[in-house]
Amino acid sequence: MRVMLIGGGGREHCLAWKISQSPLLEELICCPGNVGISSLARCLPVKETDLDGLLEVALQEKIEMVVVGPEAPLALGIKDHFAEKGIPVFGPGREGAKLESSKTWAKDLMSACSIPTAAYAVFQEEKEALNYVKKKGVPIVIKADGLAAGKGVTVAKSMEEASIALHNLFTKKVFGDAGKKVVIEDCLEGEEVSVLAVTDGKDIIILPSAQDHKAAWEGDKGPNTGGMGADSPAPVLSKELEQQVREQVFLPLLAGLEQRNIDYKGVIYAGLMVNKGILNVLEFNVRFGDPETQVIIPRLQSDLLELIVAASSGKLSDVSLRWTSDHALCVVLASGGYPAEYKTGYPVSGLETIRKVEKLLVFHAGTAFEKEKVVTAGGRVLNIVGTGSTLKEAYQNAYRGVGMIHFQDLYFRRDIGFKALPSSERMCSK
């Protein structure tokens, strides 16, 4: 099978790594790809949002399956665009992608389907939004309605923070059109957990849970990022709670999509808040999470491409997945200053050493070749993934790997996995 993978981050490197192991694969082509992916696939310099350019490549290369990593192409309607030429895309069409591309649409759907979520209100003017916050009080959650690369959410703990967040969205337009409409939610307490599922529109397979660490700084402080690390499985999600997620979240959601004549085949990502056994949905995404993918997929023993093909063809019931009992933990190595301003072009050392170490994986997120050297080329540069029979072992392996990598202004959080680790088992290199 000839497969096209779209994207060029750590998530896509992980997907390429797993897809390349499939006996079904004839050739893997990635647009645009990255340094790490280039050893697994033929990378072509076509932007992930250039739908016409991507379609041209797919037709020329006789692509039989398209796997989309990031949300932007799905929101733009890549599935609908490719369907006109009979090329299957693993992921929802433009209407289904509203689940992520419009928080207002998603919240309204959750409300209609009786899916547990925080109370909310929607605003298009700064003054009205600020008055609402004054009335509700803080803490409160302020979200840009559209896509903002995981950075459009502010948990305002003071009126000053709320005022700044609203001013940034409405007046400064820091997220452009994504912030023309703003969703304000009650702030929920508890522990966050990510639950991803694969669906063919009728059947659904829930993947092992993961816990993302979105805040830039240790102790879950600082601005939101695309994710500074993750671990899997997340102890907070018991078997009982997983069943609740199936019955209270995914099944009602699929029914709601079907009622709206939305054919949804792909990944549904539910970001949940769990508090004393009660769950609420914080958000939905319509693709594999990043960096959750980097800790979930390495635990998959089955053929990922077979799963993708089955879901895309409406035959998910034919698939049974096998998982390792190992834990996995990912630490994101970022450029100093991320998610704000940062510099790139710094040489990266230690990659050859780390590749030889068992129970360690490296996924490239923001790198490039320059004068035959790997250099930094993004905010999130590398994902270091450690595995082990226990979370402690996965944690130790991951941070051992972190200590092998060097580049100027390297920054990482030292507390990935701390929520699930007793204090006596926490230690970190560097």
pTM, 2 dp = 0.95
The arithmetic mean of pLDDT across residues 167-178, rounded, is 93
d(CA 272, CA 192): 6
Give CA angle at 97 (96, 100), nearest 5°: 125
The model's pLDDT over 289-340, given as tens digits with 9 standing for 90+, comes to 999 999 999 999 999 999 999 999 999 999 999 999 999 999 999 999 999 9
CATH topology for 191-318 is D-amino Acid Aminotransferase; Chain A, domain 1 (3.30.470)
The model's pLDDT over 181-193, given as tens digits with 9 standing for 90+, comes to 999 999 999 999 9
When pLDDT is cut at 50, 70 and 90, the band that residue 427 belongs to is: low
Could you tell me which residues come within 8 angstroms of residue 131 by beta carbon, excluding any fewer than 6 positions away?
none
Task: Reply yes or no on whether the pLDDT at 422 is more than 90.
Answer: no
Residues spanned by CATH 3.90.600.10 within the chain?
Answer: 327-425
Residues spanned by CATH 3.30.470.20 within the chain?
Answer: 191-318
Could you tell me which residues come within 8 angstroms of residue 299 by beta carbon, excluding any fewer than 6 positions away?
208, 232, 323, 324, 326, 328, 387
CATH number 3.90.1300.10 is the correct assignment for the domain at 119-186: no
**Domain 327-425, second-level architecture:** Alpha-Beta Complex (3.90)
d(CA 52, CA 58): 10
CATH topology for 2-93 is Rossmann fold (3.40.50)
Residues spanned by CATH 3.40.50.20 within the chain?
Answer: 2-93
The model's pLDDT over 393-415, given as tens digits with 9 standing for 90+, comes to 999 999 999 999 999 999 999 99
- Pairing type for strands 380-388 and 410-411 reads unpaired
Residues spanned by CATH 3.30.1490.20 within the chain?
Answer: 119-186
Nearest to 420 by CA among 323, 307, 295: 295
